[in-house]
Amino acid sequence: MNNKKIPYATKEKVEEIAAKWPTPFYLYDEKGIRDNAAAVREAFSWNPGFREYFAVKATPNPYILDIFKDYDFGCDCSSLSELVMAKSVGFDGRHIMFSSNDTPAEEYAYAAKLGAVINLDDITHIPFLEEILGGQFPETMSLRYNPGGVFRMSNGIMDNPGDSKYGFTKQQLFEGIRILKEKGVKHFGLHAFLASNTVTNEYYPMLAGQLFELALQIHRTFDVHIAFINLSGGVGVAYSPYDTPNDIREIGKGVKEVYDAILKPNGMGDAAIYCEMGRFMLAPYGALITKAVHEKHIYKEYIGVDACAANLMRPAMYGSYHHITVLGKEEALRDHMYDITGSLCENNDKFAVDRLLPKIDMGDYLFIHDTGAHGYSMGYNYNGRLRSAELLLQTDGSVKEIRRAETLKDYFATFENTPYYEKMMDEIN
């Protein structure tokens, strides 16, 4: 049944916000973020070393990262800018996981300088990193595993690790551990990310089972200490109101069962569980809010809004469904079929296709749900479109700007050493 998505801001609240920050803008819900973070911590509280390293790429904003410090979470970074952001928010090395791939040398060097936990993506990165580190590896190293083939869950959901560019093969993994042990590494972590946006409580426990078995084999083969198992991201959210959301308590319980069955009886009960969830931590607690500015009646009915795919790429790129609420018309009959479009000169610039919604009037605000992760962060500047502001609806109901909207001056800034720059500035001032 339709369990309906309820926006965390009313039409009145959005009107009040829009008077100060013109649409489009991202609005994040601090209370939702905190309640969910607390639930994640609780679900894994059976594991003393548990830590969620929030995947910074999902929502790279220091104010968001700062919230997670209250739960002793860390940051999962994959690039220099993400590392710089994590460091600037005050995360120490133990709270930074560097899970990158195709990694530039200077990023490894910086991650090592911060004392971050380095998660290697490939066996060739061992000599690459060794040279950067001057031969001295940290005592703890993590390796990313890719079992190949197809990862299948019982309800037909599957993903395709065999087609993904990440990680070590099993044979390489054993070889990598052997080499690193020889080079003085004492504690090992294993990492794998085998399926994306899994809307089933079964994914983490299944993945954990595979990684625990692997950890046991490695422990027996090399007599090395397995310090942590990193289940990475991939825990999904119910984008459609017809989907049943994941229950993190069930997920935590499921992981505990395999932990107790595989690791505990084999003297490996000190292994910490880490995760790197991005989507699950933030997607439901962010919305893109945009205003209807045009209606067009040709072969179909179109509503043009003031946001576009440059603000939210997922529908255009993946055909993703994002639920839309027309604010103030929550209870109205959804009896009009629309395509909701942005202004890019790209026909896939549509937030919804053939979507049944209440009749939309010009000036109505649309609340595009579940855009708190991989939303703003995937933004771009095509057609010279600018990134919007990011706002935080705080627990006390007040609104804080956590990133201002981009301006034309920002857009043209990289021409500043050209003869055109001054003329551009004359035009926009």
Ligand X SMILES: *Cc1c(COP(=O)(O)O)cnc(C)c1O
Q: Which of 44, 68, 193, 351 binds ligand X (CB under 6 A)?
A: 193
Of 415, 331, 357, 339, which Cα lies nearest the Cα of 381?
415
- Shortest CB 52 distance to ligand X, Å: 10
- Shortest CB 343 distance to ligand X, Å: 28
Q: Which of 43, 58, 190, 208 binds ligand X (CB under 6 A)?
A: 58
Residue 372 in contact with ligand X, rule: CB under 6 A:
no
* Closest residue to bound ligand X by CB: 233
Answer whether 281's CB lies under 8 Å from 52's CB: yes
Residue 159 in contact with ligand X, rule: CB under 6 A:
no
Dihedral (C-alpha) 248, 94, 113, 117: value to the nearest 10 degrees? -50
Answer whether 385's CB lies under 8 Å from 46's CB: no
Tokens of 325: 């609420």
Residue 252 in contact with ligand X, rule: CB under 6 A:
no
Question: Residues 91-130: x/- map of binding to ligand X (CB under 6 A)?
Answer: --------x-------------------------------
Of 393, 366, 234, 356, which Cα lies nearest the Cα of 288?
366
Q: Which residue lies nearer to ligand X by CB, 193 or 338?
A: 193
Query: What is the size of the binding site for ligand X (CB under 6 A)?
Result: 18
Of 415, 389, 390, 346, which Cα lies nearest the Cα of 428?
415
Residue 180 in contact with ligand X, rule: CB under 6 A:
no
Residue 57 in contact with ligand X, rule: CB under 6 A:
yes
Q: Which of 52, 76, 82, 306 binds ligand X (CB under 6 A)?
A: 76
- Shortest CB 118 distance to ligand X, Å: 12
Q: Which of 207, 271, 373, 389 binds ligand X (CB under 6 A)?
A: 373
Residue 211 in contact with ligand X, rule: CB under 6 A:
no
- DSSP string for 70-110: TTT-EEEE-SHHHHHHHHHTT--GGGEEEE-SS--HHHHHH
Q: CB-hemisphere CA count at 13 Å for 122?
A: 11
Window 305 to 344, contacts with ligand X (CB under 6 A)? none
Tokens of 178: 């052997």
Window 264 to 303, contacts with ligand X (CB under 6 A)? 276-280
Q: Which residue lies nearer to ligand X by CB, 67 or 357?
A: 67
Q: Cα(268)–Cα(167) distance, rounded to whole angstroms? A: 24
Window 215 to 244, contacts with ligand X (CB under 6 A)? 232-235
Burial of 329 (0-12, 13-18, 19+ CB in 10 A): middle
Q: Which of 124, 160, 196, 395 binds ligand X (CB under 6 A)?
A: 196
Cα-based angle 355, 356, 359 (whole degrees, multiple of 5):
115
- Shortest CB 115 distance to ligand X, Å: 19
Q: Which residue lies nearer to ligand X by CB, 279 or 323?
A: 279
Answer whether 47's CB lies under 8 Å from 256's CB: yes
Can you give the binding site for ligand X, defined by CB under 6 A? 55, 57-58, 76, 78, 99, 193, 196, 232-235, 276-280, 373
